[in-house]
A = this chain, B = another copy of it.
Amino acid sequence: METMQVTFLGTGTSIGVPVIGCDCAVCQSTDPKNKRLRSSIYVKTEACCWVVDTGPDFRTQCLRENIRRVDAVLYTHGHMDHVVGFDDLRRFTFGDVELPIHATKACLDDLKRMFDFAFNGENRYTGYIKPAPHEIDGPFRLGNCTVTPLPVTHGKLETIGFHFQMPGGPGFAYVSDCKTLLPETVEALKDVDVLVLDALRFTSHPTHMNFDEALAAREFLGARRTWFTHFSDEVDHEKAEATLPKGVALAYDGLKLEI
C-alpha cells in the first residue's frame, strides 16, 4: 500500500500567530505550538509531491521543512493568506519546467489577475515561474492519488477543500477555510478516515467554523481521526487540546502524518 506523508506547513489564520503588536497570552507564549504561519500542507507520495496553498510564508515554510520538490500546486481559494507566496514557486520551475496549478475557475481568475506577469506568457525565462493552469471541475489525479474537490462555504465565497485517496489506502480530507459543508462534500466525507478541518477559535465567526461547529461536523460525518487547523490567537494549543474528545487533536506547524 502506497502512503502519503503530510506535513503541516502552517496552521494559522490569515494574520498568523503571534499577531503583529499583540500582547495576549497566546501571542506572547513561548510554546512553539502557539507559533502559527499561514495554513498550508505539503503532501508527498512516491510519484508526486504537491502543496495546498502558498501563503506569504511559503518560502519560510519550504526552508524549515527543506522542501526540494513540488510537482503541483492546489489552491483552496484566492484569499491573500493562501496565495501571495505564489511568486516563490519559481524555485520549482527552474529551466523548462511548467508547474501545474489546480484551482477552481474563480480562483484561477484571481491568480491571473494578481500574477498576470506569470500567466501572460511574456516572462517564461529559466528562473521565473511558468504556471500551467488546470481548472478544477471534478476529481483528478496527482500521481497515483485521486483528488476530489470538496465545495464548502466560507462567508459569501464558495471555497474548496480536497479529499486525497491512494489506491487501497485510507482517505484523507483537508478543509481549511469553511463555515458550512455543501451536500456533495458531506456525501464525500461520510466516515472519512482522516479529516483536517477549520476550527478558527471558540467564539463564533461569520466565515469560519468555531470549535463547537467543527466538533459537530466531525461527529455528524463520523470521521475516524480529526485534526483541527487554521487557528486564531484565541487558541492556546495545550489548553484547547485538553478540551477535545478522543479522536480529535490540534494540528501545529511542522506536524507530520503518515496516511
Contacts and interface: CB of A to CB of B under 8 A. Distances in A.
A20 interface: yes
Interface string A52-88: 0000111110110001100000000000110011111
Contact of A87 (B14, B19, B90): B14
Interface string A187-201: 000000000000000
Nearest to A129: B80
Interface of A: 14-16, 18-21, 56-60, 62-63, 67-68, 80-81, 84-88, 90-92, 113-116
A85 B20 CA distance: 13
A59 B56 contact: yes
Given A56-B59, A81-B87, A114-B114, A68 B21 contact: yes
Contacts of A56: 56-59, 84-85, 87-88
Copies of this chain held together in the complex: 2
Contacts of A57: 56, 60
A60 B63 contact: no
Contacts of A84: 56, 84-85, 87
29 contacts: A14-B87, A15-B59, A15-B88, A15-B90, A16-B59, A18-B63, A19-B91, A20-B62, A20-B91, A20-B92, A21-B62, A21-B67, A21-B91, A56-B57, A56-B59, A56-B85, A56-B87, A56-B88, A57-B60, A60-B60, A80-B86, A80-B87, A80-B115, A84-B85, A84-B87, A113-B113, A113-B114, A113-B116, A114-B114
Contacts of A20: 59, 62-63, 67-68, 88, 91-92
